[in-house]
Amino acid sequence: MNEVPETEQRCGFVAVVGAPNAGKSTLVNALVGTKVSIVSPKVQTTRFRVMGIAMVGEAQVVLVDTPGIFAPKKRLERAMVAAAWGGTNDADHICLLIDAAKGYDDESRAIVDKLKETKRQAILVLNKVDLVKRDKLLGLTAQLDAEGIFTDVFMISALKGDGIADLLAHLGKLVAPGPWMFPEDQVSDLPQRLLAAEITREKAFLALYQELPYSLHVETEKWEEKDDGSARIDQVIYVERESQKPIVLGKAGRQIKSIGAAARQELEELLERRVHLFIHIKVREDWSEKRGHYSEIGLDFDS
């Protein structure tokens, strides 16, 4: 077989799948080199597929960050899991991310079983290896390798960046010859308005997940480019009940101000310009049961 010239363009889709909170979004952000997917210590933060675009020489690796795969109970959860499996079906290659500190738990085992059922192979990526002793790590690797579906094994710490360069180089060689799907300087398929909403949702999640674990939704209602080069962004945080509004506001409005300040700071860093961020809180009863909400973020209401 002839080797592909180094100067020839290559492109492919790589789905990053795993149990909730395995570190998928952190890994995708690390591989891309900038933030394209929100991160939270709470499970099931990623609600829909997000594509991060990484360049490796002449290779464009399109990384599909998927929601965590788990046993769903509610409509939103079923749609999230369907989106995750849809990401694997559409991808050329799959990275299965497993939290090495948790080991080979039931959620990861269910994903492996599903991959076997669909006759898909995957790259095994063991994350958080810095938290695990070597003998336990070797035992975990042998246990997973015995499943017979993994083509390669990488040991990384997505948070610290350890092993990321080797994994990215491998993915760059793995994708097939073909034209790039996105411009060279594009890092995500998310429109700016949606990315801005996701960043605010992340900050609200970090501040409020103990009180309102999954009751928040954020929309960017207006984006105005100002003459001085700055941007005015108007957003709405939706909650499901009137009683939840005071929780988001906080005493004397301190909570919402804190969320807004954190979101604005990150938006300014990402956009590299000044941002005027205005956030309002509204009640949208049972938004997680509204068909229109699902279509807005690319989820299948009927999953």
Which residues does the annotation place in the binding site for GTP? 18-25, 65-69, 127-130
The beta-carbon contacts of 166-170 under 8 Å, at least 24 apart in sequence, are: 167/31, 167/95, 167/125, 168/31, 168/54, 168/56, 168/61, 169/56, 170/123
- Are 281 and 249 within 8 A, CB to CB? yes
- Calculate the dihedral angle through the C-alpha atoms of 208, 210, 211, 213, rounding to the nearest 10 degrees: 80
Distance (Å, rounded) from C-alpha 50 to C-alpha 173? 22
Cβ burial, residue 23 (10 Å; 0-12/13-18/19+): buried
Annotated binding site: 18-25, 65-69, 127-130
Which residue stretches of 56-163 are H helix?
75-90, 106-117, 134-145
Cβ burial, residue 222 (10 Å; 0-12/13-18/19+): exposed
Q: How far are the Cα atoms of 8, 40, 194, 196, 282 from residue 190, in angstroms, in the given order?
A: 27, 19, 6, 10, 24
